[in-house]
């Protein structure tokens, strides 16, 4: 597969992925992180960092003081009982939270050390770098499969010279290429739910985000499709930062390097504990985390 280069309207080359920080192996990531970083203390300068994030719906305080770091090239799972603010949090990470009327937030979200909520910043550029996959597959039904994958480029007015290659690359990475390569011109509505979700992943990949946010991407899917998507996530994690919300502990254990546990004790949701996934599942520090992961509540 050939290298795909992106240029924006000004013809400036956009880099594919963080160059210096892509780790070679996951244990490498873990140790690197362990020595360099305590959650939410100083800017790393790479990856995505949430600093003291609060979120409100009108007067309802939904999320309180969440600081979390997502180093480049890691997969972080967000777990916790329903209503604890996982979706709200993940939506603050690419400024989707503000689309709901009368909402507000506080704190900072740093992408490669720069606050994405800074005034004067171009939100569309932020969302281009921080992609999102939603719980319910949402392809554009009026477009064909191929057009869906490339829709992000069109929407962001990016130009690529070799669309065919990009199309194949994204669909392959999303694990969908072999299934649809003969019907790229068919309407996307004709795909199964699992295929649609992988199409949405391919669509998100086409704009080469540095970070991919996934809010329960498998909750509407059958076990087979779920497995495919988990494989996809493992593949993708080699080249990008992934944040995934899931209710499925098995899934969190299978795909993530780090796990963060969220909880709301009736008040606003809080991040209780974060750590390497195997530690969270084997010897969590907080009793509430233990209760949750062992299935005693939630």
Partner 1 sequence: MSIDAPVKVTPPARKITTKPRVSDQIFRAIVTTFSFSALLILSLIALFLLSKGFTTLKEQGFGFITNFEWSVFVDENGVEKATFGLQAMLLGTLVISIIALVIAVPLSVLTALFLTFYAPDRVKRILVTIIDLMAAFPSILYGLWGFFVLMPMAEYWAKLIHKWLGWIYIFDVPDPIYTRSPFIAGLVLSVMIIPIITSVSREVFSQTPLDRIQAAYALGATKWGMIRAVVLPFGAGGVVGGSMLGLGRAFGETVAVFSVLNIVFRTNFQILFTQGGNVASMIIQKWGEAGPSEVSALMAAGLVLFILTLLVNFLANYVVTKTVKSGR
Ligand X SMILES: Nc1ncnc2c1ncn2[C@@H]1O[C@H](COP(=O)(O)OP(=O)(O)OP(=O)(O)O)[C@@H](O)[C@H]1O
CB atoms under 10 Å from CB of 20, counted, come to: 6
Q: For the stretch 6-18, what's the b/e string if a residue is b when 16 or more beta carbons lie within 10 angstroms of its beta carbon?
A: beeeeeeeeeeeb
Footprint on this chain of partner 1 (rule: CB under 8 A): 94, 96, 99, 124-128, 131-132, 134, 136, 138-143, 151-152, 154-157, 187, 200, 203-204, 207
Cβ 25 to ligand X shortest distance, Å: 31
Cα distances from 234 to residues 173, 228, 272, 279, in angstroms, run 10, 10, 26, 19
C-beta of 76 vs 87, nearer to ligand X = 87
Question: Any contact of residue 59 with ligand X (CB under 6 A)?
Answer: no
Cβ 184 to partner 1 shortest distance, Å: 18
C-beta of 86 vs 228, nearer to ligand X = 86
Question: Any contact of residue 155 with ligand X (CB under 6 A)?
Answer: no
Residue 166, Cβ density class (10 Å: 0-12 exposed, 13-18 middle, ≥19 buried): buried
H runs (alpha helix) in 102-162: 123-129, 145-155
Residues in region 199-238 near ligand X by CB under 6 A = none
C-beta of 77 vs 133, nearer to partner 1 = 133
Residues in region 111-140 near Mg ion by CB under 5 A = none
Backbone angles phi, psi at 287, to 5 degrees: -65, -35
**Token representation of residue 181:** 């390569």
C-beta of 171 vs 245, nearer to ligand X = 245
Residues found near ligand X in the complex (CB under 6 A)? 57, 60, 62, 80, 82-88, 100, 269
Residues found near Mg ion in the complex (CB under 5 A)? 87
């Amino acid at each position: 597969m050939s290298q795909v280069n992106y240029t924006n309207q000004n013809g400036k080359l956009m880099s594919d992925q963080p160059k210096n920080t892509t780790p070679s192996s996951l244990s490498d990531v873990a140790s690197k992180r362990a020595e360099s970083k305590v959650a939410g203390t100083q800017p790393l300068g790479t990856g995505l960092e949430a600093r003291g994030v609060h979120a409100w719906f009108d007067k309802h305080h939904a999320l309180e003081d969440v600081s979390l770091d997502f180093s480049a090239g890691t997969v972080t799972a967000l777990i916790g009982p329903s209503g604890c603010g996982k979706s709200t949090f993940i939506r603050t990470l690419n400024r989707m939270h503000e689309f709901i009327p009368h909402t507000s937030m506080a704190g900072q979200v740093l992408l490669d050390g720069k606050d994405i909520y800074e005034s004067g910043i171009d939100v569309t550029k932020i969302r281009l770098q921080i992609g999102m996959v939603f719980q319910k597959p949402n392809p554009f039904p009026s477009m064909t499969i191929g057009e869906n994958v490339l829709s992000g480029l069109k929407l962001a007015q990016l130009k690529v010279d070799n669309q065919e290659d990009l199309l194949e690359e994204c669909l392959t990475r999303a694990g969908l290429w072999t299934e649809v390569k003969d019907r790229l011109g068919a309407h996307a509505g004709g795909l199964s739910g699992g295929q649609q979700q992988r199409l949405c992943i391919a669509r998100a990949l086409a704009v080469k985000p540095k970070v991919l946010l996934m809010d329960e991407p498998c909750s509407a899917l059958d076990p087979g499709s779920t497995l495919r998507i988990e494989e996809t996530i493992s593949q993708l994690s080699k080249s990008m930062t992934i944040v995934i919300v899931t209710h499925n502990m098995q899934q969190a254990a299978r795909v993530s390097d780090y796990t963060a546990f969220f909880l709301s004790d009736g008040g606003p949701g809080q991040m209780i504990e974060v750590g390497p996934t195997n530690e969270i599942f084997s010897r969590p520090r907080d009793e509430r985390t233990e209760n949750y992961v062992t299935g005693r509540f939630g």
